[in-house]
Amino acid sequence: MRRLRGAFGIWGAGKLRTAPGRVASAARRRCAGVGGRATWPGAAFFLLAQAGKSPYATAMNQTTFPIYLACLPGLEAVIAQEAHELGLPAPIIVPGGVETTGTWPDIWRANLWLRCASRVLVRLGQFRALHLAQLDKRARKFPWADFLRPDIPVRVDVTCTRSRIYHQKAAAQRIQTAITETLGASITLDADLRLMVRIDDDMVTVSLDTSGEGLHKRGHKLATGKAPLRETMAAAFLNQMGFDGTQPVIDPMCGSGTFILEAAERAAGLPPGRTRTFAFENLSSFEASAWAQMRQHSPQTPPAQFFGFDRDQGVIQNARENAQRAGLEDCTAFTCQPISALSRPDTPPGLIMVNPPYGGRIGNPARLFGLYATLGQVLRENFAGWRLGLVTSERKLAHATGLNLQPGPPIPHGGLKVQLFQSGPL
């Protein structure tokens, strides 16, 4: 955590480039914290506003913040590559996520376009506090108004580790009181806007969850089946298989259509967050007009080469409805049929992505060996040149396909550890 704190908690004077001339020098002095280092970027705007230089949104939206892209353990490398492709600078892999930096518009863009990350967190600032009285005093000086609005409720989560302030509830009360008395915002346990305060080694780091609901909630997949695969996991597994939007994709046990919809969405160039809202829309730095412009996109029309199959007519209907809400009905097809009826489509070889039942989902994995064996046989006979990506928690079940499969890292899912087993061309 010391390295995380150094990367995410302290801003140096170089981050205050938006403040010209004397204002910049004054901002650096005003921001000076431990060792003369700036402890919050909002102070630069505070002095700019006093000097009559720039409107709030312009100044704050040009300020660079440390960003943390949270993900499921085991998917960090996938998130780092995705962040790089999105143009976020120098992504660094850390346990459970990726560190990078960006402005508020970068944070909006990350929420809108990242397919595999769970949440986008931003570090707002940091200060040292050795006891509760000092925490109270310095929390009252923190520039809450630079980020929060007085009319939007906020939730405050506090953790204390290795610090002289060890009582989390008392620390939370001091920070909540500072926010309500200096800003006027109400504190509620069910607020959509969540502040995360970590007191580690006497250093108080204030972060904000800019996503709100987890990013796996795309906003258009409303109907789900039993033990659904999260959209962020499906997108990450597609990335691990080398999917770039051009290959056909089949899911012979598609359920509500997660793999197929994620593949088709990427092929169409559609941002995954296009039909949902985000917590950052309730911040004082938010610019509705700039966000509306950012959300505009020019979707492509991919070939109709994304096929989902399932023996349950109900889940097939759900998948079709999900595709329609997502605007993907023209390039996807969902058919009710068993694995034994699976046949090769009239397309070039592509990917077969499947999340079959496994032990934790039905209770007895021994009952599934026949299902996996049938899957392997059908693929060997009909899908030469295609590659398989199979998600399961049971290595023995993967081996029951009779295919040469290489396991990926274990990923937590529904209280289990699942792995993506990949084949080469069949």
Query: Beta partners for 283?
Result: none
The total of other beta-carbon atoms located within 10 Å of residue 236's CB is 26
CB atoms within 10 A of CB 370: 10
CA-based nearest residue to 406, from 421, 386, 387: 421
Element (H, E) at 92: strand 92-94
Q: Are 271 and 235 in contact (CB under 8 A)?
A: no
Question: Among 216, 212, 237, which Cα is nearest to 154's?
Answer: 212
pLDDT in tens, the chain (426 residues): 333 333 343 332 223 233 333 333 333 333 333 333 333 443 333 333 333 333 334 555 789 999 999 999 999 999 999 999 999 999 999 999 999 999 999 999 999 999 999 999 999 999 999 999 999 999 999 999 999 999 999 999 999 999 999 999 999 999 999 999 999 999 999 999 999 999 999 999 999 999 999 999 998 888 676 667 999 999 999 999 999 999 999 999 999 999 999 999 999 999 999 999 999 999 999 999 999 999 998 888 999 999 999 999 999 999 999 999 999 999 999 999 999 999 999 999 999 999 999 865 555 667 799 999 999 999 999 999 999 999 999 999 999 999 999 999 999 988 889 999 999 999
Radius of gyration of the chain (CA): 24
The three-class DSSP label of residue 374 is helix
Q: Is 8 exposed, middle or buried (0-12, 13-18, 19+ CB in 10 A)?
A: buried
SS3 state of residue 86:
helix
pTM value?
0.85
CB count within 10 Å of CB 79 equals 27
Q: How far apart, in whole angstroms, are the C-alpha atoms of residue 383 and residue 352?
A: 9
